[in-house]
Amino acid sequence: MVIAGNWKMFKGPAETDRFLDELDLPSGVEAVLCPPFPSLATATGRGIPVFAQNVHWAAEGAFTGEVSAGMLLELGVEGALVGHSERRQHFGETDDTVRRRCEHALEAGLRVIACVGETESEREAGETADVLRRQVAAIPRHEALVIAYEPVWAIGTGKTATSEIAQEAHALIKELHDTRVLYGGSVKPENAAELLGQPAVDGALVGGASLDPGSFAAICRAALS
Ligand code: PGA
C-alpha cells in the first residue's frame, strides 16, 4: 500500500519541519509526502520519501517557473506527481505535457505518481471510461510509475467516490495499464479503510487530510487493517 500526502500549496519550510517532528507513522506502509517546492529541502532526509508536485520535461532551459528532475534529485527528492487535476484545470496541463513530464522524470530516475480522473460533467455525460482511456493512454509504462485515480468531483469537496465507483474505475485502469492504482478524492481517516479494502485499490493520494500529522498517520494505519 502506498499512502501519499499531497500538500498542494500548503506548508512552508517551518511548518514542514514541525509536521515531521510530530509525525508518527506505523511500519509496513509505503508513505510518501509531496510538499511544495520551497519545503522539499526541509522534508528530505527525514526517513520518509519525498515527491515534488510537478516536474518539467527538459533538463534545463528557458522555462520560467518550472523545475527539472535533476534539480529535484540533487535535493534528495525521490519522485514527482504528474498531471494532477488542478494542473490540468488551472495551468493548461494536457495529456501530451503529462506524457512528456512522466517520460523525462522516469528517464532521469525519479518515481512518478501520474494522476487521472473525470470531471463531474464528464461522469454525468457517461464519458468516464472514455476519459480514463484517453488519459491512461498518455501515461508511459514503467516499473517506477503508479497511477492515481482522482475523480475531479471528489477532490476537496468532501464527496468521496463510493467504494464501488472507485473499484470500477481502478479495474478499468488496471486493464489498460499494468500498474498499482491509488485512489484520491476526500480520503479521510473515517473512510480510508473501506476504500483501501477494495481489491483494485493499492493505496491513496490524500490532500486535505494529509496536512495534519495525526490524520495522515491514521490513514496509514487504516491501510494496514
Ligand atoms: P483531497 O485532495 O484529499 O483534499 O480531496 C486529493 C488530491 O487532490 O490529491
CA dist 1 and 142 (Å) reads 18
Give the Å distance between the CA of 221 and the centre of ligand 1. 18
pLDDT in tens, 31-40: 999 999 999 9
CB 115 within 8 A of CB 93: no
**What atom in ligand 1 is closest to the CA of residue 210?**
3
Phi-psi region of 186 (alpha: psi -120 to 50; beta: other; left: phi over 0): left
CA dist 98 and 118 (Å) reads 15
Q: How many CB atoms lie within 10 A of CB 166?
A: 26
C-alpha closest to that of 117 among 69, 72, 81: 81
Q: Domain of 98?
A: 2-13+29-43+70-222
For range 120-143, the mean pLDDT: 97
Number of domains, the chain: 1
Residue 23 lies in a domain: no
DSSP 8-state assignment for residue 180:
-
Residue 189 lies in a domain: yes
Helix axes 95-108, 128-137, angle to 10 degrees: 40
pLDDT in tens, 73-124: 999 999 999 999 999 999 999 999 999 999 999 999 999 999 999 999 999 9
Q: Is the pLDDT of residue 225 over 90?
A: no
Residue 82 lies in a domain: yes
Looking at residue 157, its pLDDT comes to: 87
CA dist 76 and 69 (Å) reads 11
Residue 59 lies in a domain: no
Residue 74 lies in a domain: yes
C-alpha closest to that of 160 among 185, 135, 140: 185
Residue 52 lies in a domain: no
Residue 64 lies in a domain: no
What percent of the chain lies above the pLDDT cut of 70? 100
* pLDDT higher at 157 or 127: 127
Q: Is the pLDDT of residue 125 over 90?
A: yes
**What atom in ligand 1 is closest to the CA of residue 208?**
4
Q: Is the pLDDT of residue 191 over 90?
A: yes
**What atom in ligand 1 is closest to the CA of residue 184?**
6
Q: Whose CA is nearest to atom 9 of ligand 1?
A: 207
Give the Å distance between the CA of 205 and the centre of ligand 1. 7
Residue 188 lies in a domain: yes
Looking at residue 187, its pLDDT comes to: 96
Q: How confident is the model at residue 196 (pLDDT cuts 50, 70, 90)?
A: very high
Q: Is the pLDDT of residue 27 over 90?
A: yes
Looking at residue 160, its pLDDT comes to: 82
State the catalytic residues. 84, 150
Q: Whose CA is nearest to atom 7 of ligand 1?
A: 207
pLDDT in tens, 137-175: 999 999 999 999 999 999 888 888 899 999 999 999 999
Which CATH number is 173's domain given?
Answer: 3.20.20.70
pTM of the entire predicted model: 0.97
Give the Å distance between the CA of 169 and the centre of ligand 1. 17
